[in-house]
Structure 1
């Protein structure tokens, strides 16, 4: 899934208000700056209403859109969007499957007219890096863990319990990754973002632990531990730019896909919904930071991107194995309840004292 989607028909009052005969589907779309929904062909008519921010319609030609614009897509037309700087965009995407509809709002066509001028949009190296990140994200969306989450098997109590336990192992480790970033970061703007990110995430592993209780306390797993340790080590050895890619592009994009889908498996918990809503903002913070840094060298960032996704795929493969196969998939040893505490800046110490909730 690209961007953050919410099915409006699942809202009780809106579902009761919309007539069944209109045969349409509604989606709420949120895209960070540079985050695309790739053009795809619609079998019927479609309409996109931009509710906030700005961006571009992608499909044949490229057209700028902003809050208040409506985009009409004819049957067979291409529909795609990309969030624009500085705040991305929010929109309502409507797909019609019934009779022709009439509109009295101004619109922009999402496809080029015959003989239309080609796009003059030139992509920056950073934008191309975002596209590469989305390619990795699409591959992850088809991974064994995501297939499991979308299947009926994920609804079984034992699978859900084991999945939460495995997610707990990574959640504990992610707290350490964020702490390490704060300790080793030296760029002033990056320090502010790292501290803000840590403040927003601190204690979230305890919230997750409360979902499954002490009877299924997290276990140590050598696969997740090894890949997590790689991220922690890279927080110390990587550049500011590489840290930003690993945290904001790789981990947060992976979490966006995973936690958004997990809402369907755990509908009674707000843990996954809360995370899914803030992950797009975390991506935007990283994108804007990289955009502000002069002389950006993309080559090492591409290397960090590839390695980071490989490690996240290892972690998520282990989570899938543990959820599917049970205790035999993991080496079960007691794991400490790690929560980030007050972090001194510099390389001297990495405090793991429990934080007040």
Structure 2
């Protein structure tokens, strides 16, 4: 499925009104505050066929998060959801995240303990094919590493961790689907070469060779254009917005009313290095145009740019594969 057809960021599979009103409501609120759209079965339009509609919503989502509680297996609806989620994982590379909410993952994986007893009751009167299909789905989802609520003393901290993980996976899949990682990394390397060429031309420029100053300025302008395109692409992909806020008017992520500053420190380093080199080139070009040698012969901006690239490589997040 093309990425353009993906309507929701996340599909939530869970069981129980109590869970919906407590843990899930807090999780969804934090996800929404971070600009992550969540679909749950309560969002179904009245009159829609239930199972086909849920299948469509799963396929329209980038990620499914399965909240496995003690009574999850008491619902054949949830079990059918789970089968479809894992089918999408296998055929479409759909990302599946798990939360084991007050239940032992091994009980889910092996259908044992109270979880297993509930599963057996749900299977009563069902066909052998349904029982086999559901059992395999629970085994598979139980083998996907996720958050175990029993390991957390503070549930709000666990929710914050889950939201961060969802955001990271969404970012990784977005760059992978759009070819960002390879294509834009290539542009960054081109940008560095332009920076070096600009600095070299600055050093060669003089009153006898004024054209070098003009070449330097041209290289700096091209570098700035590439950096602006890169930054604009990221802003649009993350749906960031410009806001006049103290202390610095800047772009902000769509979270908590656009309160979180957009971009990484590496983005800032690379962008300001490009601007710095442009200023150096403009100064030297201005001097040579007036028949004087430029005052700046050695620019440090390409060096800072290269350091920023190295830092960026170490901070790079791995691409999420279909097995994640």
TM range (shorter): under 0.3
User: Normalising by structure 1, what TM-score?
Assistant: 0.24
Higher strand share: 1
Structure whose residues are more often helix by fraction = 2
